[in-house]
Amino acid sequence: EPPDLPHDFSCHTQDMKKIICTWSQGGNTYLYGEHSTKYTFFEEFTQKLIPCTVECPTQCSCSWDINQQRIYNIMMTVENSLGKKTVTDAFDVTHRIHPSAPSELFGHCSDTKIMLFWKHRNKGIKLFCQAEVFHPDGKAELYNSSSTHLQYASITVGELQPYTRYTLRVRCGAAQHFWRWGEWSKTQTFRTEEASPSGKLDIWREITPVLRGRNVTLFWKLTPSFQANGRSISYEVTWEKVEEDSKPQHSSISSGYNSTRIFIDNDPYKISVVAKNNVNHSLPSVMIIPGATGNISTVNELSISDLKEDWVIGADNGIFLSWEPRNTYDGYVVDWCNFPELQPCDLQWKRFGPHSSSALITSASFVPGVRYNFCIYGSVANRVSLLEKKTGYLKELPPTLDPPVKKIHLTFHAVTLSWDSYPTNASQPGFIRGYHVYVSPVQEDCSLKESKKHVLPDGSVLCKYIIENPEEKRYTVKHLMPNTKYKLVVKAYTGGGETPITNFIYIETPFDSNTLYLLSLLVIIPSAVAALCHWKMKW
């Protein structure tokens, strides 16, 4: 086949010493030896052939030394025994500078800046350079140099994070008659210096009354704006009395911990927590603990049992809370335990702004059938006040155990059942909403007065009575027949329903002698009289 017309034919120089022409190689001509493709270069202005050796590893190129000539009109001919093609490129060589990649990168770092230096191979050419900075999150930024350079150059990269690794590379272009950027240098990684931690810690507390004072467990976590800015972080807790001059007490905690416990007496205290590295410490996070009387603290802090506890129901992705907003607070805090049945319970907290009045609390630790308790606090001037309490489930489940039923009174026509010991507290997998009492004669379906019909999967029919008060744990089933066997069961139900009926208790109403006497009067005596009359008539 004849040769293809070369694509992307272009000529440039890297150092004003050699001209390099490049182009994309065409398709295979399937000609070899003396019939293979040959290239010739001809300069139109001087009318001279240019001696040049073509190399085509991936992209074809050919180069030759520059003389005093600056303006060129290069014609390249591609030819084989089946045909030829020509392409041209006219240019001013000073307008076609494509610098080689910078080398020997090194830098000087401060906590927020990197001054990057490198060396040019293109001596005598004024260059304008650009640095690309790769951040730890993968984001890349470009920085342009503010001046032109000859052999040595530098760029200052600012607004960086302390004690952070950055990867940089550099490329350059001609400062005069810019044509295109040169090749990128090899990348170099630098780490900025340490600085004081920035931002504050988010702190919280749990207060437990003890003899002659209180145990305060302090917790802290990093806020989104917090930066450690150093290789190692530790924490320091300071506490002192608010209303009198006292020597502050201190406690240092290593980086592997996010809580500590201190003892304070019943006076008001100011507690602060800071994060420290090798340079300095962060701004303090402060909390005021109000005073207490004896072993019982003020209503604002510890009288949780005095507040009404509202029920809340969860959704698939969390538990929704709402509260009444108050104008006196600059924010709200909600706390809860991820594992309320364990100690420690993994106390969690979340802060909300002054205009918030609801929140969806989510946690990977929330599971169906566990009751979670939430306390809502108002915060102002580093003080918090307990406002509301909520309790609820991510999802309610049916009770796992049936009430332990006792037969406390049995008559000819009624039975009274009791399950006083059945708990309705947080041990249940849902809020106990009430009870269902099921009853039926053993030998037949049930049809007692004042009951609802309930059909079992096997088709048998039970009588159903509904108790909607979870604290009402006694019920009398009426309208029974004497001398009859009955089966009964009591089921507690929650928002998650109740478990299937599997086990019954059995009772037998006593024999009613009065009924037998009445039967005698109504049946036997009339029968005797009738027989006597029949005998007399026959006589």
Residue by residue, DSSP assigns 314-357 as EETTEEEEE----TT-SEEEEEEESSTTSSS--EEEEEE-TT--
In a domain, 298, yes or no: no
> What does the DSSP assignment read for 367-385?
-TT-EEEEEEEEEETTEEE
Is residue 212 pLDDT above 70, yes or no?
yes
Question: Are 20 and 59 contained in the same domain?
Answer: yes
In a domain, 209, yes or no: yes
Q: Which residue has the tokens 């109740």?
A: 498
Question: Are 357 and 450 contained in the same domain?
Answer: no
Question: Are 319 and 384 contained in the same domain?
Answer: yes
Residue where one domain finishes, among candidates 289, 317, 344: 289
**Residue 121 — very low, low, confident or very high, per pLDDT cuts 50/70/90?**
confident
Mean pLDDT over the full length of the chain: 89
Question: Are 137 and 39 contained in the same domain?
Answer: no
In a domain, 112, yes or no: yes
In a domain, 304, yes or no: no
Give residue 494's pLDDT.
96
Give residue 58's pLDDT.
81
Q: How many CB atoms lie within 10 A of CB 99?
A: 25
Residue where one domain finishes, among candidates 150, 172, 191: 191
Give residue 294's pLDDT.
53
| The two three-digit tokens of residue 436, written as one number | 């269902």
Give residue 467's pLDDT.
96
Q: Which has the minimum average pLDDT: 112-121, 141-150, 328-337, 476-485? A: 141-150
Give residue 204's pLDDT.
97
Question: Are 181 and 205 contained in the same domain?
Answer: no
Q: Which has the minimum average pLDDT: 38-47, 65-74, 85-94, 305-314? A: 305-314
In a domain, 400, yes or no: no
**Cβ-proximal residues to 80 (8 Å cutoff; 6+ apart), any chain:** 2, 3, 29, 31, 35, 36, 37, 38
In a domain, 355, yes or no: yes
**Residue 306 — very low, low, confident or very high, per pLDDT cuts 50/70/90?**
low
**Residue 295 — very low, low, confident or very high, per pLDDT cuts 50/70/90?**
very low
Q: How many CB atoms lie within 10 A of CB 4?
A: 15
User: For a pLDDT cut of 90, what percent of the chain falls above it?
Assistant: 70
Residue where one domain finishes, among candidates 191, 223, 249: 191
Question: Are 355 and 258 contained in the same domain?
Answer: no
**Domain of residue 61, residue span:** 7-92
Of 147 and 407, more confident: 407
DSSP-derived 3-state class of residue 63: strand
Question: Are 413 and 498 contained in the same domain?
Answer: yes
Q: Which has the minimum average pLDDT: 16-20, 493-497, 531-535? A: 531-535
Q: How many CB atoms lie within 10 A of CB 277?
A: 21
Q: Which has the minimum average pLDDT: 178-187, 234-243, 485-494, 503-512? A: 503-512
Question: Are 185 and 205 contained in the same domain?
Answer: no
Give residue 30's pLDDT.
67
If you ran DSSP here, which 8-state letter would residue 26 be given? -
**Residue 232 — very low, low, confident or very high, per pLDDT cuts 50/70/90?**
confident
In a domain, 374, yes or no: yes
Question: Are 433 and 455 contained in the same domain?
Answer: yes
CB neighbour class for 92 (10 Å; exposed up to 12, middle 13-18, buried from 19): exposed
**427-450 pLDDT, tens digit each:** 999 999 999 999 999 989 998 988
Residues 119 and 151 sit within 8 Å (Cβ to Cβ) = yes
Question: Are 244 and 269 contained in the same domain?
Answer: yes
Residue 417's CATH number: 2.60.40.10
Give residue 80's pLDDT.
83
**Residue 148 — very low, low, confident or very high, per pLDDT cuts 50/70/90?**
low
Give residue 297's pLDDT.
42
Q: Provide mean pLDDT across the span 100-105.
A: 90
Is residue 234 pLDDT above 70, yes or no?
yes
Number of domains in the chain: 5
Question: Are 416 and 349 contained in the same domain?
Answer: no
Question: Are 376 and 320 contained in the same domain?
Answer: yes
Residue 439 β-bridge partners: 463, 488
Give residue 4's pLDDT.
82
Residue 529: phi and psi, rounded to 5, are -60, -45
Give residue 302's pLDDT.
44
In a domain, 52, yes or no: yes
